[in-house]
Amino acid sequence: MTRTNSQFMSIYLHDIPLAEARAVWWGALAEAGLDGVLGMEELPLDEQLLGRVLAEPVWAKISAPHYHASAMDGFAVRSADTTGALLNTPKLLRVGEQTSYVDTGDPLPDWADAVIQIEHTEPITAANHPAHHTPRQPYAILIREAIPPWRNVRPMGEDMVATQLVLPQGHVLRPVDLGALAGSGHTHVRVARRPRVAIIPTGTELKPIGQPVQAGDIIEYNSMVLAAQVGQWGGVATRWPIVPDNLAAIQAAVREAAESHDLILLNAGSSAGAEDFSAQVVASLGRVLVHGIAVRPGHPVIMGMVAGDKGQGTRGTPPVLQSLVPSPQSPFSACPATPFRPR
């Protein structure tokens, strides 16, 4: 049954607490199976994944590093061979027999268990002269300090071990996470599909940006602001052309948007004016869940379900929109977070 304007106004005049509105919204989404991941995509691992949400946990395929690596430029040694080296009684180690040069990141030879920094060695020639011209390939090195096993070595799995959890489901990918995924052996990642959000500005008085305005005209920029915020939240916004204050025209726009979008933001028409049709539109195509929340500004917010998809109306007066969207206490901010970030 279609409600009359007076019926919608009675709903509007009885604001409900924000906590109750959130509970109603979450309950309706859960009932429709829309309170979690909307879908899954497997995408190549690259910088385009920044900000995407993991659809499932990611486990390391390989260890990082996947071999024992030198942590310094220097000489790989058996730590036992350095025993007895003192400042006044240096110990000589033959290159190729007891030691070999390694750069930072090089694999540690199978026989070695430590690395001596090159600046802590004294390279010498076969004639026992300083090897200034070949410090990395001398005949031998002198050391004046014994070192323990695994000194200056990055052991296999220091960063992560194969089969270890790298990132949990629902994690929002940061730049450092992309490196961790690559380092753990992954080339593709399964992420949540980005919610598709339709933004429909309504109002006969609205004019597109850049067009001349006269008294009574209002530049329509709310849809641009909302689209930018949707993108910041992780969604994909579609901005509809301005729809005049006509019930049938708004119904047609909402019906079209519901066919291919997960969330509909119907901008304006949520208050009690003579041409405020949003509540009637939602009721005619689905059901109104909430119309009026006890917050200021922005209390005439509408929440509803349309043709199995989500619909929400916000006031269209620009100052109220600007106060409504960014506030963490606003009803608007409580709702779009639902499809963008799993709880």
- For residue 111, count other CB atoms closer than 10 A to its CB: 10
47-69: average pLDDT: 96
* pLDDT category of residue 297 using cuts at 50, 70 and 90: confident
Residues 278-290: pLDDT tens digits?
888 888 888 888 8
The distance in angstroms from the start CA to the end CA of the chain is 35
For the chain, domains (ranges, CATH) are 5-39+194-340 (3.40.980.10), 41-66+159-192 (3.90.105.10), 69-154 (2.170.190.11)
The per-residue pLDDT for 288 is 85
CA distance 39 to 306: 20
The per-residue pLDDT for 312 is 60
pLDDT > 90? residue 163:
yes
Contacts of 125 (CB under 8 A, 6+ apart): 131, 138, 139
Give, in order, the Cα–Cα distances in Å from 52 to each of 43, 46, 228, 274: 10, 11, 16, 42
Name the pTM for this structure: 0.73
Residues 303-322: pLDDT tens digits?
888 864 455 655 443 222 32
The per-residue pLDDT for 25 is 87
Contacts of 232 (CB under 8 A, 6+ apart): none
The per-residue pLDDT for 272 is 53
pLDDT > 70? residue 51:
yes
22-47: average pLDDT: 90
Strand partners, 121: 143
Residues 207-266: pLDDT tens digits?
999 999 999 999 999 999 999 999 988 899 999 999 998 999 999 998 898 888 888 898
11-33: average pLDDT: 82
- The two three-digit tokens of residue 80, written as one number: 């036992």
The per-residue pLDDT for 271 is 55
Q: What one-character DSSP code corresponds to residue 148?
A: -
- The two three-digit tokens of residue 78, written as one number: 């058996």
